[in-house]
């Protein structure tokens, strides 16, 4: 049994973590620390201890892993405190505010023989898993270009912000999803081109980015905007022999926002209308076009992997090197914005 605790009792903990963890019979949630209990807005979970005493969580000998689900500006301090108390640590995204902080945290974990990792749940998005499956099957031929989009039409968000904070930028908040997918799939790029903008002008939030990453002839574009009234395809993959277009995103977040939870069999599952379209030419010169059934996503697989790492000593799925590379790309992307 892996016994865990949480720092933070807000949306991150209750929407993006607990619904998956509570499904797992080999993981026990013992304690949730919340700094301001008067702000509690989520239903309490039976059998879980809620405390406003951080030391109670940190000094509990039963707890092996502590999950940091707070705002980005406290990730470094909380992660350091957790490691100093000889607990393994999982940290929400973005992992840290700077690559120097990340480097220090990884070094401390290594020194103590502990695991610290970013919560890269988007590796287990349905659309991303489906794209990986299509690429591996080889019908596309040699890959030439991959486009990844994460669009919104929420102008009220950037319009409400009248200052610029790098770690609160759109690139940090959403690039941390898609960039990790790129790095996990293709590794370190040979070169990266950055187009990171403040569409409302200087002194406002970063609300748009378009990064091109190059890998030995393959171009991977990661694009997001707050001003897309009609979303671009979630993925568009082009090879020498064909293409795959996945129009819609993974549906886990959509269902979570509706409080439709993972204990439903069709949670996060694509219907026929959501399937991507594969078009390719075979060796006989015949063109095929077909819908591809989506691979089911499951954010909880992050915890499955952590269980194996903590309890059975297996390697982490999200490596320190991958997270460091991501942090460096994020830092460079917002450099120069004011």
CA atoms of 282 and 308, how far apart (whole Å): 41
Class of domain 122-297: alpha beta
Indicate the pTM of the whole model.
0.95
Show Cβ contacts of residue 257 under 8 Å, excluding neighbours closer than 6 positions.
15
pLDDT in tens, 278-327: 999 999 999 999 999 999 999 999 999 999 999 999 999 999 999 999 99
pLDDT in tens, 261-292: 999 999 999 999 999 999 999 999 999 999 99
| pLDDT recorded at residue 265 | 94
pLDDT in tens, 207-221: 999 999 999 999 999
In terms of CATH architecture, what is 2-119?
Answer: 3-Layer(aba) Sandwich (3.40)
pLDDT in tens, 148-186: 999 999 999 999 999 999 988 999 999 999 999 999 999
CA atoms of 95 and 284, how far apart (whole Å): 49
DSSP-assigned letters across all residues of 253-296: HHHHHTT--TTSTTTTPPPGGG-EEEEEE-TTS-EEEEEEPPPP
Domain boundaries, the chain: 2-119, 122-297
CA atoms of 122 and 170, how far apart (whole Å): 16
């Amino acid at each position: 049994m892996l016994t865990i605790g949480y720092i933070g009792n807000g949306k991150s903990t209750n929407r993006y973590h607990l619904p998956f963890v509570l499904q797992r019979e080999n993981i026990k949630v013992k304690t949730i620390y919340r700094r301001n209990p008067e702000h509690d807005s989520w239903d309490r979970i039976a059998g879980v201890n809620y405390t406003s005493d951080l030391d109670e969580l940190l000094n509990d000998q039963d707890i092996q892993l502590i999950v940091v689900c707070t705002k980005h500006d406290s990730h470094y301090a909380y992660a350091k405190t957790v490691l100093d108390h000889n607990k393994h640590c999982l940290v929400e995204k973005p992992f840290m505010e700077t690559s120097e902080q990340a480097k220090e945290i990884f070094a401390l974990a290594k020194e103590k023989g502990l695991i610290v990792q970013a919560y890269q749940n988007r590796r287990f998005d349905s659309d991303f898993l489906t794209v990986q499956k299509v690429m591996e099957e080889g019908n596309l031929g040699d890959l030439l270009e991959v486009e990844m989009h994460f669009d919104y039409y929420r102008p009220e968000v950037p319009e409400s912000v009248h200052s610029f904070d790098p770690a609160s930028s759109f690139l940090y908040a959403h690039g941390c999803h898609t960039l990790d997918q790129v790095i996990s799939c293709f590794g370190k790029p040979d070169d990266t081109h950055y187009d990171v903008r403040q569409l409302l002008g200087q002194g406002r939030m970063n609300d748009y980015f378009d990064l091109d990453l190059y890998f030995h002839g393959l171009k991977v574009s990661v694009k997001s905007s707050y001003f897309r009234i009609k979303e671009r395809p979630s993925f568009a993959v082009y090879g020498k022999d064909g293409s795959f277009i996945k129009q819609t995103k993974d549906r886990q977040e959509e269902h979570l926002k509706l409080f439709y939870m993972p204990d439903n069999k069709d949670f996060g599952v694509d219907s026929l209308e959501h399937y991507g379209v594969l078009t390719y030419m075979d060796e006989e010169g015949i063109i095929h076009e077909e819908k591809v059934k989506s691979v089911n996503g499951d954010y909880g697989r992050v915890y499955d992997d952590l269980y194996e790492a903590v309890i059975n000593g297996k390697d982490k799925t999200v490596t320190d090197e991958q997270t460091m590379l991501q942090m460096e790309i994020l830092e460079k992307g917002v450099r120069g914005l004011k």
